[in-house]
Amino acid sequence: MLIDLVAAARPNFMKIAPLWKAFATESWAEPRIIHTGQHYDHAMSQVFFDELGMPAPHVNLGIGSGSHGQQTGRTLEVYEQQLVRDRPDLVIVVGDVNATAAASLAAAKLGVKIAHLEAGLRSFDRTMPEEINRKITDAICDYLWTPSEDADANLANEGIDHARVERVGNIMIDTLTMLMPSIMQEKVLETVGLGERQYALVTLHRPGNVDSADSLASLCGILLRCSDMVPLVFPLHPRTRAKLQDFGLLASLENSASVHLMPPLPYRAFMRLVAGSLAVITDSGGVQEETSFLGIPCLTLRQNTERPITITLGTNQLVEPCQLPQKLENALTSGRRATRIPLWDGKTAARIVKFVRERLLTL
Ligand code: UD1
């Protein structure tokens, strides 16, 4: 069974790594990584293939950066050609990036079976490009693999037949549990010059936070106030670095002794920083899950989340920028707490392989 695993951008690579490994050990399966090339810098792409033990992609579609229309359109066109040339039996798309929607559309039009891993998540905020991608993808995929009960409920509310839906759990936690011993060996804290639980970690890259000069300037001021309370470690996404530079804000962070700016980090070094932190300030989706799993307070600088279970059963809270200093102070006082979220157990890839073997192999 030829299985295309489609990956495009940094958060996708941690999701396909356990899938690739699990399918590669099955005699009946031939998994192939289709890299669309949305992320292409070494630090945003190749480094994850190296450390997550994945082979070079079967193909790289070379899509690169561009507007949403350009990225989505090019992926649709080029992946369609790939599908016609080298047709798989199943396409698996993950997450909610532009390629998730585009690759699904290409496969659906050619009648190739498609599964969406991380289906059913909804922020109910159509200003997020990812929300549009999620809805398009779930509307046209044959199999919807969800991480949690709320995702099943969202799909039911959209009138999607429950026969298409299978709750498989959270694939990111497979990668995290698999690599936890080697994550803890990482020496990144020494590089930063900070010890265990002596800092808060910051990640920001959402257009809603970083693309406008006003909102980014205000966030920088608030982060500088927070850094009076606790040192901040801040690995910069290329988009965020570029915007800080364009808006003349980079120097204010660089000149602060208690803000430690870093380049984009490999997976293990980044997770080592998460694991050693007092709290995490973020606008990422995956980081809300990883902190919840580890029991670390997570302050999400967004007005909504497509991952509400991280609030109800995890450690996440949505925070307005003006509330951040107070919320951070509270988080530093309250500290960590144990959490347990159903099916976030490191066995999601195994459940997916079982599903494909039992339900799809014979079709
Ligand atoms: C994309 C995803 C987002 C995900 C994020 C993780 C969509 C709609 N967005 O956003 O859901 O959370 O990835 O990073 O698919 N750039 C580089 N090097 C790279 C890649 C990008 O310098 O390897 C720069 C380019 O200037 C580019 C910008 O970053 O224009 C934004 O990249 P893009 O892929 O368009 O979106 P992300 O913000 O990364």
pLDDT of residue 362: 76
pLDDT of residue 363: 64
Residues of the chain where predicted confidence (pLDDT) is lower than 50: none
Parallel, antiparallel or unpaired: strands 200-203 and 90-94: unpaired
pTM above 0.85, yes or no: yes
Q: Which atom of ligand 1 is nearest to the CA of 133?
A: 8
CA dihedral sign of residues 143, 144, 147, 152: negative
Tell me if 44 CB under 6 Å of ligand 1.
yes
- Spatial CA neighbour of 216 closest among 250, 255, 258: 250
Vertex 230 angle, CA 260 and 273, to 5°: 55
Report the separation in Å between the CA atom of 40 and the middle of ligand 1, taken as the mean of its atom positions.
Answer: 10
DSSP for 164-187, please give it: GEEE---HHHHHHHHHHHHHHH--
68 is catalytic: no
Report the separation in Å between the CA atom of 354 and the middle of ligand 1, taken as the mean of its atom positions.
Answer: 33
Which residue is listed with tokens 């929300």? 131
Which of 39, 116, 205, 260 is an active site residue?
205
